[in-house]
Amino acid sequence: MKPLTVLKALASQKSLTSRQHLPTRVTVLSAAALLVALAAPAASAHPGGAAPARIPFTQATVTATATPGTYEIAWQAPGVRHVTVEAGGRTVAGGGSAGRVTVTGLPAGADRQWFDLVPDHGRGLHLADRLVKLDGAVNFRDAGGYRTTDGHWVKMGEVYRSDSLDRLTDADLAKLRRLGIRTDYDLRMASERAAAPDRVPAGTTYVVADVLAGSGTFTAMPTTESEAVTMMTEGEKFMVSGDTAQAAYRQVFAGAVGGDGVLFHCTAGKDRTGWANAALLTALGVPRETVMADYLASNDYRAAANAAALASMPPAQAKVYKPLLDVRAAYLNSGFDEVREKFSSFRTYEKRALGLSPAELRTLKAELLV
């Protein structure tokens, strides 16, 4: 595993327990940007009047290995002399300002193994592997665990993203109930929902937030590879400016403001879900490079499933179909281009399309950032 990577993932259901969850890149601040972040005032005051301690970590990841109960933890915390790694209330490892340790012998059956990274000064981090291992889904992951440009971190364990939920097992449902999934936003079309109805834990609120909602997007199959690429880029634009898309994402963001245990998903967990998470992370202040890495990670999580689908087709058909299975930087960039073209700025998009007032945006950040 490379020191500057986060988010590589298991690509098929069978691999969830047999392959290492590899990470992908996280943005590293330049020295100048780091100085700005360290000098920036805290977003809120401590009840006693003093500013809360800043988080010194510029990078931190937890990665489950192929060996049950074994994890790799990596971090960078400039200016810190020592970092203690705790799990289950006990110290399991430690290191200096930059470290990479392997922790073994932890409970293999835990829903998620959480770690506390405690620096000798400043505020610590509470992290787990981003992937939530399920028998019936391959792309179920935590939306958090990322650093913002101003030195905050997106909390883990609050918002989740996923592919289809129709194949979840009873054990999966029990795990999601224990994880506190309270609201499930289904971004799929009516035909998808009818063919593969969601399975959600008892007590979870199910909300239809149909992004495409009867539009012509993604309804006719392309006949050439270039047509497939165009379909994906045009579809991404619709997710930004289409009326039904804006209405659907307003529902999701309204649920995220002041709520926890929020889950949103589509069929593959990469396009409609990908834009939802890209918009959320951008609104929270996560840098574009990190947003892109999170988006592109679906290629890794879904690699085996996609390869199997393509292998079942004649080569000519597979060539046309592959762009539909991929996520590509050009797809997400077309969405951000649409934001600039139709809304001038992302903040205007937040207000007009997502319905986020300045007060609601502050609430969202207060709920999801540390």
Q: Is 267 helix (H, G, I), strand (E, B) or coil?
A: coil
Q: Which phi and psi angles does 204 have, rounded to 5°?
A: -80, 135
Q: Kindly give the pairing relationship between strand 159-162 and strand 205-208.
A: unpaired
Q: Which of 242, 264, 241 is nearest to 253 (CA)?
A: 264
Retrieve residue 25's tokens.
């890149």
DSSP 118-155: EESSS--EEEE-SB---SS-S--EES---B-TTS-BBP
Q: Is 119 a catalytic residue?
A: no
Tokens 């592997």 sit on residue: 129
Q: Are 124 and 87 in contact (CB under 8 A)?
A: no
In whole angstroms, give the CA distance from residue 154 to residue 276: 15
Which residue in the list 138, 266, 279, 369 is annotated as catalytic? Answer: 266
In whole angstroms, give the CA distance from residue 249 to residue 251: 5
Q: Which phi and psi angles does 69 have, rounded to 5°?
A: 80, 10
HEC per residue, 335-361: HHHHHHHHHCCHHHHHHHCCCCCHHHH
Q: Are 197 and 166 in contact (CB under 8 A)?
A: yes
In whole angstroms, give the CA distance from residue 202 to residue 205: 9
In whole angstroms, give the CA distance from residue 325 to residue 265: 16
**Residues carrying an active site annotation:** 266
